Amino acid sequence: MNNILKRIKGIRVLDNEPLEKHTSFRIGGGARYFIKVYSIKALKKVLEFIKKRRMRYFVIGAGTNILCSDAGFDGAVIKLEGIFKRMRRKDNFFICGAGVTIDRFLTAAGKAGYGGAEFLAGIPGTIGGAVKGNAGAFGRSISEIIEGITVIDTGSDLGRKDLSREELRFDYRRSHIKDDKIILFATLKLKRRAYKYIQRALSAKRKWRRRRQPAGYSAGSFFKNPRPQSAGKLIEECGLLGLRVGGAEVSRKHGNWIINTGNAKASDVLKLMRIIKQTVRLKKGVLLKEEVKILR
């Protein structure tokens, strides 16, 4: 079966690839197949292979908002490369591949004299992941600048579909893009702005993040903020800063960050997550919900 997969042109297949190498948490066992895909045609071929065998699959971006199981993933992990890391501009619209990183997009847009997305500065990850999870900061979200996306529908005939912003039904830190839709490209609408202004704004946002965010391996904010409250503040008020399970620790700098101190397992993080949720619910009457995607 592996030989069949490896005959597909436009991909690179790694067997039992450790997922810890591809996530910011630096945690995760091996994926049965880790497939780098460089074209739409190759992606369709890979998906046909997966569908025919009823195999589980998962599309990974920069791996910045994910916790992978210690046991790995008995299926295919797909990483979009090649054409999916390209972007182009048409007037004030930027068409970005799902694999384009947020910072690369912001830098290119700024150099072209277009702004309006500076609030995203310093957020790790890719455009595809940002759209799927409606990433944002400073009271704003990427949904505000999304014009539409192109997806491939794995639930039907693997056809390409264009979806408007309205069809995506964005909500706080989420969209209603179903898991059987893989984001290929996103169109973002920006505004003409002076390059100096954009650079100052990007620099200020990035500096703010560096000053506020904890160092170490993590997936960023672990829980969604239960608006109007702050998950980090609730965790801190419950006296959980510094709480540790194995190699996983609640950051002493920010309560909503779980840090891999160097040898954490996914099981450590999950146990710590459950303790946090139970404690906050008991003491504050608030049920926290994970922002991080858990891949088992």
- Give me the active site residues, please: 173, 221, 291
CB atoms within 10 A of CB 144: 15
Element holding 95 (H helix, E strand): strand 93-97
* Tokens representing residue 162 in the block: 């264009």
CA distances in angstroms from 232 to 70, 73, 166, 226, 283, listed in the order given: 26, 30, 31, 10, 14
The helix/strand/coil state of 210 is helix
CA distance 197 to 203: 10
The answer to whether the beta carbons of residues 272 and 243 sit under 8 Å apart is: yes
One-character DSSP codes across 175-203 = ----TTEEEEEEEEE-EE--HHHHHHHHH
Q: Among 106, 190, 182, 104, which Cα is nearest to 146's? A: 190
Q: Is the peptide bond before 228 cis (omega within 30 degrees of 0)?
A: yes
